[in-house]
A = this chain, B = another copy of it.
């Protein structure tokens, strides 16, 4: 098994399994060895589940022998450690839950299990998807495989690092203000924040009920589509879960993007942008045009509402953590504790006004998405942050291109669009209409196939 096998796509792995060219048990053994070699430096995993992985792999092998044709059969995955896993420690990256062993799987964990995946373990997350891990924290932070002195992004930090390092083929993430897309961007992988309500959050630790999204991360757009297919769908256990029918997310990838109307919201998304990212973005736009898309500028004036986003996030995070943080303040990291307690100061009037501004943004975005099919922006304003800067408690919440799509709940994809001069990945963000994941995956896939960014490997 050569190095490239660790970067095989889900479809390639499945094809080789079915040619008997490779077996899930063989892949699992090789991955466990690779994790043992690389993870002491990367810290992508909080918990490795070697026995479970081998048992899953053997079961997959038997199923393959019976001719079972499921796309995810034998595909190695891991879960962000805020997804509850039955009989497997689920820490939330926190001291509070460091030894907690849930009795039930999160809905998404169950669905991926039922799809035949191989579970390698639990992946690092920022503390409760909201803190930052300072030196000395019980769970040391994951590192960026492209440059160990830089963060892999957060809060789905382990998911981004594990995918970029070829340790898993798919991972779950969660995204309240960019926690799927940010790590995807910083690690040069693909992340999809589905439409609000498309993927169940039952059994995923909450941060902010009205902003939280669960979704898949992978190395290619097609892999994301396979993983989404096995996660999407109504779940009565998540009150916000939608009953909208689930589409076939693979089918749109077969179509080219001639005539697709793409809007570039010029204001807001380019304020404070790194010049290298701006150049990469303009080249990406030209690529999309060359592929036949109609690209035009659009306006969504209310998007400058970062303040509303933070008010909603802070208030809901405090409401969720209030009881625990009162009883066990010492089990929260200093940065996280201060962030959460700040939410106690938000008044209901501020909160409801923020939700009203949010409704206005949703109306404006819906208006623009009557004129275009997909919006495109840079995912982040800068490449991966150095640890020296990210661990400064004063770093706070810099302006971000991602929260507008948590406020609106629109399906949003992040995928590689180049590299900085220092070798760090850059990323494109595509957003579509509610429940039109297929449209963003289609555009993302066409762009990805026309470029070669997803074939580059980090220097491990």
Hey, which bits of chain A sit against chain B, CB under 8 A? 209, 239, 311, 314-316, 318-319, 322, 343-353, 356, 359, 363
A47 CA to B350 CA, complexed, in Å = 36
CA distance A371 to B345 in the complex (A): 43
With both beta carbons as reference points, the residue of chain B lying nearest to A315 in the complex is identified as B348
Establish whether residues A319 and B353, one from each chain, have CB atoms under 8 Å apart when the complex forms: yes
Bound complex: CA of A412 vs CA of B286, how far in Å?
57
Copies of this protein in the complex: 2
Select which of B316, B319, B352, B356 is within 8 A of A315 by beta carbon.
Answer: B352
A346's nearest neighbour on chain B, judged by CB, is B348
Least CB distance from A209 to B in Å reads 7
Is there contact, CB below 8 Å, between A349 and B343?
yes
Decide if B239 touches A349 in the complex (CB within 8 Å): no
Distance in angstroms from A405 CB to nearest chain B CB is 19
Which residues of B are found within 8 Å of A359, using beta-carbon distances?
239
* 11 A-B pairs whose Cβ atoms sit less than 8 Å apart in the complex: A239-B363, A315-B347, A315-B349, A316-B348, A316-B352, A318-B348, A319-B349, A319-B356, A347-B347, A347-B348, A351-B351
Sample of 8 more A-B contacts, CB < 8 Å, known A239-B359, A322-B349: A209-B352, A239-B363, A315-B347, A315-B349, A315-B351, A318-B348, A346-B348, A346-B349
The SS class assigned to the A binding surface is: helix
Instruction: Give the 3 A-B residue pairs with the shortest CB-CB distance, closest first.
Output: A315-B348, A348-B351, A346-B348
Chain B residues whose C-beta falls within 8 Å of the C-beta of A239 in the assembled complex: 359, 363
A348: chain B residues within 8 A (beta carbon): 311, 314-316, 318-319, 343, 346-348, 350-351
Distance in angstroms from A345 CB to nearest chain B CB is 8
Contact B209 A319 (CB under 8 A): no
Residues on B with C-beta less than 8 A from A347 are 315, 344-348
Query: Is A319 a contact of B352 with CB atoms below 8 Å?
Result: yes
How far is A311 from B351 in the complex, measured between Cα atoms in Å? 13
Nearest to A322 among chain B residues (CB) is B349
A106–chain B nearest beta-carbon distance, Å: 19
A311→B352 CA distance, assembly (Å): 12
Task: Please give, as numbers and ranges, the residues of chain B lying within 8 Å of A318 by CB-CB distance.
Answer: 348-349
